[in-house]
Amino acid sequence: SMSPPVLYCIAQLLDVAELISRLEAVMGEFSQRGAGLVQPVRSVVPLQKHGGFLGLMPAYLAHEDILCTKMVAFYQREQGSSLPTTQATVLLFDPVSGVVSAVMDGEVITARRTAAVSAISAKLLMPRHAEILCLLGSGHQAVSHYEVFTQAFTFKEVRVWSRSKERAEEFARAAGGPVTVCPSVKEAVEGADVIVTATNASEPLLFGKWVKSGAHVAAVGACRPDWRELDDDLMRDAVVYVDSREGAAAESGDVILSGAEVFAELGEMINGSMPAQRDKTTVFKSLGMGIQDAVSAKLVYDKWKSQQ
């Protein structure tokens, strides 16, 4: 039997506009809870000894015959560590036979699809004439959010804050346009219309008292039930959207520990069953979903096949 192709260097195979449109469709369908999508909440294996977790993220999309699983390891690294906090591999299967059709890098997929999902939420929830984008954190997700957000929207100013000023300056130098490095979270978020939290923090770093009324927060980090990026004030005062209600109830420290009510899923806004409260201060709490990886992997695979 032939061994499946191993696809790395896939950045060119994953077009952002195409990805956004596929993600909108699948998130809208997910929130209808039809039988065509099977996606359990991520299984997480703690690696206590090593300060990490292994997440298993399978998904089956019956209408499109996509069967996929991502395996993602995430670690809270020491500051200055050269290892990535998020490492991932994706397996795509032929659901007819169970044969593996491809093994692929999951890091580009994870970075890009997460930013694309945040951009979908920002498109629906950020203030109408949003001018200032603020990124908290300067790692992989911050970079992909910068790329996707500046491609999808036009901002007058982009700000970044990071624990390490050097990293933030590096980020600003590498960015494709002007980025202001801010010395504190407070100064970075003041007056910002869109705030992306993409850190590995386990304690709140974004406080509601600093956030402009009507702003939109895309909260990407804090993926464990006892980890926080946002404080109770922000969680309780904002209208809270999530990618999956089940996922948020199991994994989001910001949702669980604040006791905040989840207003809607992103997919409920997309499929029209719940409104986008754009005029309010909004939080989109993102945890990541197997269906997002599945449609991404299929796009990569189809593009790769068309080039063979």
Positions that interact with ligand 2PC (CB under 6 A): 55, 72, 74, 86, 110, 223, 287-288
Site for ligand NAI in 131-170 (CB under 6 A): 137-141, 162-163, 167
Report whether 61 contacts 37 (CB < 8 A): yes
Residue 55 is a binding residue for ligand NAI (CB under 6 A): no
Place of tokens 């790395």: 8
Q: Give the shortest CB-144-to-ligand 2PC separation in angstroms.
A: 12
Closest CA to 282 of 253, 250, 252, 240: 240
Binding mask 70-89 for ligand NAI (x = CB under 6 A): ----x---------xxx---
- Binding status of residue 201 toward ligand NAI by CB under 6 A: yes
- Whether residue 132 contacts residue 159, with contact meaning beta carbons closer than 8 Å, is answered with yes
Q: Name 38's bridge partners.
A: 60
- Ranges assigned E (strand) in 62-138: 66-75, 86-93, 100-105, 132-136
- Answer with the entry of ligand 2PC, ligand NAI, none that 121 interacts with (C-beta below 5 to 8 A by kind): none
| Pick 200 or 281: Cβ nearer ligand 2PC | 200
| Residue 140 interaction partner, one of ligand 2PC, ligand NAI, none, beta carbon < 5-8 Å per kind | ligand NAI
Residue with smaller CB distance to ligand 2PC, 111 or 195? 111
CB closer to ligand 2PC, 85 vs 277: 85
Q: CA 227, CA 252: separation in Å to the nearest integer?
A: 7
DSSP state of 261: P
Residue 57 vs 211, nearer CB to ligand 2PC: 57
The SS3 call for residue 260 is coil
Q: In the 3-class helix/strand/coil scheme, how is 193-250 assigned residue by residue? A: CEEEECCCCCCCCECHHHCCCCCEEEECCCCCCCCCCECHHHHHHCEEEECCHHHHHH
What does each C-alpha distance from 286 to 165, 218, 221 come to in angstroms? 26, 7, 8
Q: Which residues pair with 87 in a beta bridge?
A: 73
C-alpha distance across the termini of the chain, in Å: 19
Write down the least CB distance from residue 73 to ligand 2PC, Å. 9
CB 270, min distance to ligand NAI, A: 17
State in angstroms the smallest separation of the CB of 184 from ligand 2PC.
26
**21 contacts: CB under 8 Å, gap ≥ 6:** none
Binding status of residue 301 toward ligand NAI by CB under 6 A:
no
Using CB under 6 A as the binding rule, whether residue 252 contacts ligand NAI is answered as no
288 φ/ψ angles, rounded to the nearest 5 degrees: 95, 140
* Nearest residue to ligand 2PC, scored by beta-carbon proximity: 288
Q: Which of 148, 215, 223, 255 binds ligand NAI (CB under 6 A)?
A: 223
Q: Least distance in Å: CB of 187 to ligand 2PC?
A: 28
| Closer residue to ligand NAI (CB): 267 or 288 | 288
Toward ligand NAI, which CB reaches closer, 28 or 139? 139
Report the distance separating Cα 183 and Cα 29, nearest Å. Answer: 42
Residue span binding ligand NAI (CB under 6 A) among the ranges 55-63, 89-97, 149-157, 193-201: 193-201
Where along the sequence are the contacts to ligand NAI (CB under 6 A)? 74, 84-86, 110, 114, 137-141, 162-163, 167, 198-201, 205, 220-221, 223, 286-288
